[in-house]
A and B are shown apart, each in its own frame.
Chain A
């Protein structure tokens, strides 16, 4: 017959310590893990989520006279030459708009409008032109055959064709001769939870004319700005539900 095992006071103490330690550690790490799960940027292998829709709000009344910092930042981020010949790529450009009746002049940046119903995606024969689940419209450089039909179809003239061989590319933004390309909302930055380069440059300049964020999150800055001020889409008549909205035009 063996005696039931008796725990020594030291053992009891150790057990209590472990219990308390686990509790404290759990309380310390748990919320972090939980919040990380909610707020972390996407892992590379994780697919974009349709729970989000990225969009941009541009306030033309805040867009600086003659300022082109957004264009410069875009060119730097995406490895574009910055040349403005008829065959050169431009992801974002400044438009000067003059009202024919009042002669009122405005400036605003024009870029891919990341439509919900993008004509470029509809017409692409191979599916290279595509919309990510989170609303970002991209060109898959692996299956673009360079037919340029998407450029015919885009109402915003947002796309460019790479007319000549490229050197010194940004490794994060692979481009290639013979393919079509356009603004990606700096998808490489968005996937790291950063804002597009143009928005960052506009804020750095102090103009605050561009707001980027999740249109599906009612608490995001862009959703709140859209809810509180009138905004418009360019060529709203086409029913494309553009992801880029404008104020002050």
Chain B
């Protein structure tokens, strides 16, 4: 048994730890299944979601995982499309992580549906004017294209196909994240969405979230195999993460500056930036401080060149900041009341004109965490049975530099 679970493992086998990881991931997924079956039976009445906040915490996790999934593939794209050997060596791990995270994110979306039993309907009835329907096509296509990409990367005889297929995967992922951002960008009704910036902003954020996840997983794999990541690689990857985080901060600033210039958007900006309570705190402390400023300071600190720990802390904070960003974008955007009658105060029995209240229930936490659990389980098994450990060619790395 021990040998069977030790496939493709060069260094220490650590079978019991492997089973431990599976047990942890399995428990988290079981929790999500429990939440799913409970909600399926009793309905969404057990969640904190309501007719005002229709997308809640599960969507925060789901959209984060989907966006990060497309972003984590960026590592492979830099290798295959832009020919960087440092990233080429990491392309298989990048592709596998992209599939595992997309599976986790999609599972949460599906398990949260009011009628998850009608998934087949979603697969057979398409309204091509709906950006949500396009997302479904992009998600399914992503599995196919990235799956094929992995085959070309990991099969010696098909290696020459990895560049064109990798290029197709790169274009597809840009389309996917554009579509995911546009789920919000195309909503004309609400002040918090309704912006063409959503698509490019989601793409740049996906670069940051994806690379942060990649760095964490890569470090865990090196640690598991008692290996040390070469300093040159660490420096290049941490600098890239810093660029992506800075670019995310830039897009966030432009998004809010644009709103601040439009008088009709002032009330929304006042809500997010000043008076929104949880949303204001999550924006300034979660998204900006924890997600952008502290990671940037860590990544540019003098000690970070040699310190894997510093870089990993920055990556972890970028991920937490990303979750905060999704919470502010998705739930904050719904909590702010719609302005049906500009210049007038509206009230009703249906919570018009007031900030919607939302407090996620245990079931929503379980569902959301289940998405991470699925991605974690998929990754753990995949790195155990396939060779995803990056194999660096240091001569090529030096050649790249020149």
Residues in B whose Cβ lies below 8 Å from that of A97: 341, 344-346
Assembly CA distance A97 to B118 (angstroms): 40
Chain A min CB distance to B116 (Å): 8
Known: A152-B334, A162-B43. A100 touches B345 (CB 8 A): yes
Q: List the A residue with the shortest CB-CB distance to B334.
A: A152
- Please tell me if the beta carbons of A152 and B118 are within 8 angstroms of each other in the complex: no
Stretch at the interface among A6-14, A153-161, A200-208: A153-161
Residue A126, interface by CB 8 Å: yes
Residue B125, interface by CB 8 Å: yes
- Please tell me if the beta carbons of B118 and A143 are within 8 angstroms of each other in the complex: yes
Residue A144, interface by CB 8 Å: yes
Residue A86, interface by CB 8 Å: yes
**From DSSP, what is the main secondary structure of chain B's interface residues?**
loop
Assembly CA distance A164 to B54 (angstroms): 14
Contact of A127 among B125, B186, B338 (CB under 8 A): B125
Stretch at the interface among B126-134, B196-204, B245-253, B307-315: B126-134
Residues in A whose Cβ lies below 8 Å from that of B114: 144-148, 161-162, 177-180
Taking CB atoms and an 8 Å cut-off, the chain B residues in 124-181 that contact chain A are 125-127, 129-133, 135-136
- Please tell me if the beta carbons of A154 and B189 are within 8 angstroms of each other in the complex: yes
Q: How large is the interface on B (under 10, 10 to 19, 20 to 34, 35 or more residues)?
A: 35 or more
Assembly CA distance A159 to B52 (angstroms): 10
- Please tell me if the beta carbons of B338 and A145 are within 8 angstroms of each other in the complex: no
Q: Kindly supply a per-residue 1/0 record for chain A positions 207-249, scoring 1 wherever the CB is within 8 Å of any chain B CB and 0 otherwise.
A: 0000000000000000000000000001100100000000001
Which of B115, B131, B338 has its CB near the most chain A CB atoms (within 10 A)? B115
- Please tell me if the beta carbons of B50 and A87 are within 8 angstroms of each other in the complex: yes
Residues in B whose Cβ lies below 8 Å from that of A151: 51, 54
- Please tell me if the beta carbons of A110 and B348 are within 8 angstroms of each other in the complex: yes
Residue A62, interface by CB 8 Å: no
Q: Which residues of B contact A (CB under 8 A)?
A: 42-45, 50-52, 54-55, 113-116, 118-119, 121-122, 125-127, 129-133, 135-136, 183, 186-190, 334, 338, 340-341, 343-352, 356-357
Q: List 20 A-B contacts (CB under 8 A).
A: A86-B356, A87-B45, A88-B51, A90-B349, A95-B348, A123-B187, A125-B122, A125-B130, A127-B126, A145-B115, A145-B119, A147-B114, A148-B114, A152-B187, A153-B189, A155-B340, A160-B51, A162-B114, A234-B341, A249-B341
